[in-house]
């Protein structure tokens, strides 16, 4: 996790404890974050679905938040294939 100005950069391989720490971190700072970018290190595969749940909740609370993979409605998980979702506004 790294914050560069108003862009929050997150590793897609965050474990549950890191996601919990992220939730506490962004709770009071969500108003200042304009964009969230997912970085891939190591295998580039998510280790928990909690990260995606938190990101979707953050987007619901702040619809103007730019999250790179949410705009395409899909995410390439390499060996697992593509992950797709629907949004209802």
What the block records as the tokens of 29 is 């700072």
Closest CA to 37 of 72, 84, 73, 1: 1
Q: Which of 11, 4, 54, 12 is nearest to 33 (CA)?
A: 4
Model pLDDT for residues 74-86, shown as the tens digit of each residue? 677 767 777 776 6
CA atoms within 13 A on the CB side of 5: 4
Query: What pTM was estimated for this model as a whole?
Result: 0.77
pLDDT at 37: 87
């Amino acid at each position: 996790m790294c914050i560069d100005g108003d862009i929050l950069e997150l590793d897609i391989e965050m474990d549950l404890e890191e996601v919990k720490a992220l939730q506490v971190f962004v709770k009071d700072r969500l108003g200042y974050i304009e964009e969230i970018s997912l970085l891939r290190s190591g295998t580039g595969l998510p280790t928990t679905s909690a990260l995606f749940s938190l990101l979707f909740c953050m987007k619901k609370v702040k619809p103007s938040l730019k999250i790179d993979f949410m705009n395409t409605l899909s995410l390439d998980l390499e060996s697992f294939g593509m992950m797709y979702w629907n949004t209802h506004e």
